[in-house]
Amino acid sequence: MQSRPRIPEATVARLAVYLRVLSGLAESGRGTVSSGELASAAGVNPAGLRKDLSHLGPCGTRGVGYEVATLRDRIAGVLGMETAHACVLVGLGNLGSALAGYGGFGSRGFEFVGLFDASPARVGQEVGGRVVRPMEELDEVVTATRATIGVIATPAEVAQRVCDRLTAAGVRSILNFAPVALTAPAGVDVRQVDLSVELQVLAFLDKQRGPAAAVLAPAGGMA
Amino acid sequence: MQSRPRIPEATVARLAVYLRVLSGLAESGRGTVSSGELASAAGVNPAGLRKDLSHLGPCGTRGVGYEVATLRDRIAGVLGMETAHACVLVGLGNLGSALAGYGGFGSRGFEFVGLFDASPARVGQEVGGRVVRPMEELDEVVTATRATIGVIATPAEVAQRVCDRLTAAGVRSILNFAPVALTAPAGVDVRQVDLSVELQVLAFLDKQRGPAAAVLAPAGGMA
DNA sequence: AACCGCTTGTGAACGCAGGAACAAAGTCGC
DNA sequence: GCGACTTTGTTCCTGCGTTCACAAGCGGTT
């Protein structure tokens, strides 16, 4: 069916970035873009961008560039954005509430069809326009809405249990913000996002460069 | 000086994960761990874990395993965690507030010494035990506290301006949550975290596996 | 109609990360 | 004291991702 059996995962992640840039350009009324300009806006190498786009088949005009709207729709199709994705979010603490209220998801075709929390204090509250439900209703909502994506923003101690319940209910993709490695049955994709790891990588790179802070301001360049 | 000129960035990210697991084991009173067990808890391959640890020099005992406390301290030292890192956070919206209140940072040696927001409505409020300050005080606080890490959780439109101000004030490492590629002067590290990109990768993988959702619920079609 | 400049798309080389297999070393048991 | 088992540390290899460089193609111009 599709002449592209597989697209590298790193490329998929970048396609999502290109898509965001293209959406911005389309709103600016821009008609075409060159690979160089698009790569610059996305923060990647122009050759790499062209190679990424080559996975979608030829979609540019030589000598001119890429048609903004066309390319945007093409990428959106490949990423599976023509249809909205129903997501459930478990854990409405600080991070979960931020995710529920984050507009970047809704504008990209992801809709939270259920917010769940184990704490009775949270249940019933409204977050991001949705009412927080008790954990008991999780299975029912996942089944009814056919949600395929589950987001875990709970404390680490209960994340595995939540993961089990989500997979048992039929969720096939999980985005985990809890700082633990989750075990899921085969056929279920788990992606881990650990915010503090990012900070620690930064701290390491900073330390590796050595304490050269004084060198950066040789002649009182503070002003 | 250091016999390890460079540690791969991917390894550094995993070291941070090992460190978290080791801290948990140490609290459990565990004395030693084998690479297999540690790798399982971290969700990686045992051979890869040993290779990662080999960058720190020999730190295990053959036939026994790794001493939990010793290895933890060694990794902490390599990651630059013996000294606390002062961070400033700009943008106290949903995500910024979640970050400010996230305990995972403080327990890892990262302290937010300044919270900043451009909105007068936010200034003066208390988030995570700290008072939100106006943007005008950013330069002053960064200089006074010698903060080296800046976290950007603002809307995309102002992220580049915030980045410019942070670097001008002397920040050398930036963690950016705004969905834009930032341009920073040489010598400044920028790490990008895009939450919606993760979701889109999940959606793509789900779509790539084919529309097998119907198989999961054979009886009871949409109609 | 033909030329020229510009841009895409692709092919090849380089470097890096990941995984498996093997040798060294230390401990436990006899 | 010696042997065998366990586990680390290392080495090799395979595959992937990234980058550079070139050929192919299209539009504009004369």
State pLDDT tens for residues A159-190: 999 999 999 999 999 999 999 999 999 889 99
**C-alpha–C-alpha distance, residues B147 and B133, integer Å:** 15
pLDDT at res. A223? 37
- The answer to whether B207 faces chain A, any CB pair under 8 Å, is yes
pLDDT at res. B208? 82
Closest CA relative to residue B75, chosen from B64, B94, B60:
B60
Angle between helix axes B9-27 and B35-42 (nearest 10 degrees) is 100
**Of B49, B79, B109, at which residue does a domain stop?**
B79
Residues B64 and B130 in one domain: no
Q: Which two tokens stand for residue B212?
A: 């097998």
pLDDT at res. B211? 60
Share of chain A above pLDDT 70, in %: 91
State pLDDT tens for residues B172-216: 999 999 999 999 998 899 999 998 899 999 999 888 876 654 344
**Of B19, B44, B79, at which residue does a domain stop?**
B79
Residues A46 and A68 in one domain: yes
Residue A222 corresponds to which amino acid? Answer: M
State pLDDT tens for residues A26-75: 999 999 999 999 999 999 999 999 999 999 999 999 999 999 999 999 99
Strands annotated E in B41-148: 66-67, 85-90, 110-117, 126-127, 130-134
Residues B18 and B113 in one domain: no
pLDDT at res. A210? 66
Residues B27 and B89 in one domain: no
Mean pLDDT to the nearest integer, A98-125: 94
Residues A67 and A99 in one domain: no
Of A211-215, B38-42, B203-207, the poorest mean pLDDT is in A211-215
Cβ of B45 < 7 Å from strand C? yes
Cβ of A60 < 7 Å from strand C? yes
What is the extent of the structural domain holding B92?
85-196
Q: How confident is the model at residue B19 (pLDDT cuts 50, 70, 90)?
A: very high
Residues A40 and A94 in one domain: no
Residues B117 and B192 in one domain: yes
Mean pLDDT to the nearest integer, A6-20: 94
pLDDT at res. A213? 45
Count of domains observed in chain B: 2
Q: Residues by CB within 7 Å of nucleic chain D, which ones?
A: A 8-11, 44-45, 47-48, 50-51, 61-64; B 33-36, 46-47, 50-51, 53-54, 58-66
CATH classification of the domain holding A119: 3.40.50.720
Residues of B in contact with A169 (CB under 8 A): none
> Do A80 and B203 lie within an 8 Å CB cutoff?
yes
In a domain, A210, yes or no: no
